Structure 1
């Protein structure tokens, strides 16, 4: 395995080097960096041209300039990168570090969400092949797959930023809009529920009525400006999450696992009231410590209550505890939405990667960060969501048709165990390759997304360098994205080995 990884690293390094040579050659020959100064009428035009020529080494052949850049970039191996300066004399190292913080934050979050949702949709679609749910997921996946990035970004900017700011000035939902929302999600629930017409009609009716009731109540109490979940909704949402983890493990057949989930909910409800003063002014270290404590408590409850199903009980306990903690934190976050509106005012900033000199508390700062992260994240997520769902569906269907799956089913293994413990693990092996390439592709797609939403990330750095015929910023972008692609491929190889032990040999 080590020899294989080292060989892959060597090949990837060779490809990175060849790509850098080609890109540098294309950039320096894409235009004249002195063109703007040549058209200038300034009296010191010649001095400016001479200074820029000296700063960018324009009097040297392109391969000599590339050698200078490569010499500085190779120092990254000893963590002493020297990526030179841009045409204005600013340090590219400083610029790329700042840009990486914005772009990688955006791309990483979009990748994680796309993987979780895409794989879940693909698995359920394969298990319920040729049902209404399968057709619905297929339709949504192809719609997302066919959306041009720039068009989706512009639509979200219009309706998710401009129209939202108009609505939040006097937030209210009309009766017609409430009915349309309830009917839409009712139809969606009916499509994913499956079964006969009676069951699907029941799903439609329950979903539509509950959603209509909630929107009406929220509108009457002005929830859109002063939102909160409260202990009842936190408990209800945590119970739904517990049911999900039960479905993935033992179902309802093992009472001790079920009791573990119930005890975890009871403990969480007590902690909800006890921890409120602590959450008034937290920091990230406190949140991290509480999360670790939550995992420990859920695991301990599962270990001592689970009996013979300790592993399943610990999974249910930890999952339920973490969900209760998340909903508790989200409830506190919602209660600070009104304070954020008072500070931010209108229009709420949804363009850019952060509000300069924003002065708010812990939760209000998160809202400022989230409102600007939400829309570009959605754009990048839908780019990958369709691919993950379709590849997972195909891989899952192929795995379910294998002989060992039929053998396990003939031995009496339940469908839940077959799907979660056997089929899913083997079906994920091809997906690891897609994840590796998709992460690098998303960084490239972020160039367009960042441009539409005004993010000062690596996309802006790349575009500025390209327009100015300045190779150093462009090469810094390539260095980061190329290295990310290599690292993700290495992680894919390791994931292969962990998912399929045969590869280790």
Structure 2
């Protein structure tokens, strides 16, 4: 493995050197960094042109200029922005932090949803659900990202903000939502038509009741969960986590997750005080405490495989803490929405924060402001990425579920959950594990169109601005960072493939 890594690293460095050289040639000829000075009417224009020419080495041949830049880059100096004098490393650090906010949330959500939908679609092959997912996937593939972003601005921001002015859901809308959910759930559940009808009908009626109560009580303007809802949702998470990770037949794991759900309901009362002193670091430590508590509870219940119970308890603990944190965040929604800067229109269409709130916010109001600005670009990236992950997972799962060892597992009488989750699902993740690192690395380069439409000052926007200004140092800094990340992503993908699939011989 060590020999393989060093071999791949050597190849990657050669590719990166050649790529940066070619990109430097393109960037140097992409525009004239002296355009603004040539059009200037200042008396010292010639002196300014001479100074910038010397600063950017414009009087030197482009290939030689590349080696000047490369020698500085090796020492960690990426130069400065000739317009502002700001260090390129500082600009990239700020822009990449903004991009990581979007990529972190959207990528995790797209991967989780894509894997889940892809697995269900594969298990329900040639059903109405499978055909529906296929149609939606091809639709999302074909939609231009800028058009998706504009639609989200219109309906996700402007439309929803108008709805909040009078947040009442009419009966016809409730009926349509309930019927749509019933069809989707019924198709996803599969089985006999009675089972589908019961599951779909129950889901649709439940959704109508919940939305009707939320509409009647004004929940959309002053949302909250409360200990009872947290306890109920925690119990649902407990059953789902146990089913997926251990199977409902593992009673010790089920008891562990249910205890953590109960802990969440009881912890609501002391956490109302604790959250009053919470910031980002404290919230992270609280999350770790709930994860550790779930792990310990699982070990205490022991059972035939105590690590399975501990893992299920830790996952449930994290989910329960998320509910508690979300509930307290909701309690700040009304004061945030009523501030003069927001004025009852909380979902933002542009930017990464509300300038008028700067310096006058606590952790919770600042978090709400950040999330309301992130929600639309995150949704845009999810919709664009979701189709790919769904199709990859569906195809991989179909291939695995038709292999001989799956038939053998079923012939041995193993439960279908065990066959799907332990034998099928794990092996179906191998192709996806080689794709995700590369996708994430490329996304960190910035969702150029999405960031431009939503005015998000991330890596994509940095690249566009630098290209317009013929700012070679910034362009090269951007390309170097994204290129290194892509090289690392490719190496991780190769290593993961070799680790997950023992048939791959890396030292051959």
TM range, smaller chain: over 0.9
Alpha-carbon distance in structure 2 between the residues aligned to 1:286 and 1:338 = 24
Aligned to 1:479: 480
> After superposition, where does 1:59-458 map in structure 2 within 5 Å?
59-76=59-76, 81-343=77-339, 344-346=341-343, 347-348=345-346, 349-356=348-355, 357-444=358-445, 446-458=447-459
TM-score (normalised: structure 1): 0.93
> After superposition, where does 1:34-49 map in structure 2 within 5 Å?
34-49=34-49
Structure 2 SS opposite 1:462: helix
Alpha-carbon distance in structure 2 between the residues aligned to 1:461 and 1:86 = 14
Alpha-carbon distance in structure 2 between the residues aligned to 1:212 and 1:384 = 30
Describe the superposition over 1:110-152 as per-residue Cα deviations: whole angstroms up to 9, x where unpaired. Answer: 2222111111211222222222332232222222222211111
Preserved CA contact (<8 Å) 2:234 2:264: no
Alpha-carbon distance in structure 1 between the residues aligned to 2:50 and 2:167 = 59
Q: Give the deviation of 1:391 after TM superposition.
A: 1.0
The farther-off stretch of 268-277 and 11-20 is: 268-277
The farther-off stretch of 47-56 and 63-72 is: 47-56
Q: Give the deviation of 1:442 after TM superposition.
A: 2.3
Structure 1 SS opposite 2:273: coil
Alpha-carbon distance in structure 1 between the residues aligned to 2:407 and 2:325 = 44
Structure 2 SS opposite 1:253: coil
Aligned to 1:53: 53
Alpha-carbon distance in structure 1 between the residues aligned to 2:297 and 2:96 = 41
Alpha-carbon distance in structure 1 between the residues aligned to 2:126 and 2:446 = 33
Describe the superposition over 1:438-468 as per-residue Cα deviations: whole angstroms up to 9, x where unpaired. Answer: 1233245611111000011111221111111
Preserved CA contact (<8 Å) 2:124 2:130: yes
Q: Give the deviation of 1:502 after TM superposition.
A: 4.5
Aligned CA distance change for structure 1 residues 354 and 504 (closer, same or farther; 3 Å): farther
Q: Give the deviation of 1:419 after TM superposition.
A: 1.4
Q: Cα RMSD (Å) of the superposition?
A: 2.1
Q: Give the deviation of 1:369 after TM superposition.
A: 0.9
Report the number of matched residues.
501
Aligned CA distance change for structure 1 residues 132 and 24 (closer, same or farther; 3 Å): same
Preserved CA contact (<8 Å) 1:126 1:397: yes
Q: Give the deviation of 1:365 after TM superposition.
A: 1.1
Q: Give the deviation of 1:10 after TM superposition.
A: 1.3
Q: Give the deviation of 1:228 after TM superposition.
A: 0.3
Aligned CA distance change for structure 1 residues 428 and 159 (closer, same or farther; 3 Å): same
Alpha-carbon distance in structure 2 between the residues aligned to 1:174 and 1:91 = 55
Aligned to 1:500: 501
Preserved CA contact (<8 Å) 1:358 1:365: no
Aligned to 1:4: 4
TM-score (normalised: structure 2): 0.93
Aligned to 1:27: 27
The unaligned stretches of length 5 or more in structure 1 are none
Preserved CA contact (<8 Å) 1:86 1:92: no
The farther-off stretch of 36-45 and 374-383 is: 36-45
Aligned CA distance change for structure 1 residues 86 and 192 (closer, same or farther; 3 Å): farther
Q: Give the deviation of 1:471 after TM superposition.
A: 1.0
Structure 1 SS opposite 2:220: coil
Alpha-carbon distance in structure 1 between the residues aligned to 2:150 and 2:319 = 34
Alpha-carbon distance in structure 2 between the residues aligned to 1:404 and 1:209 = 41
Alpha-carbon distance in structure 2 between the residues aligned to 1:458 and 1:258 = 45
Structure 1 SS opposite 2:486: helix
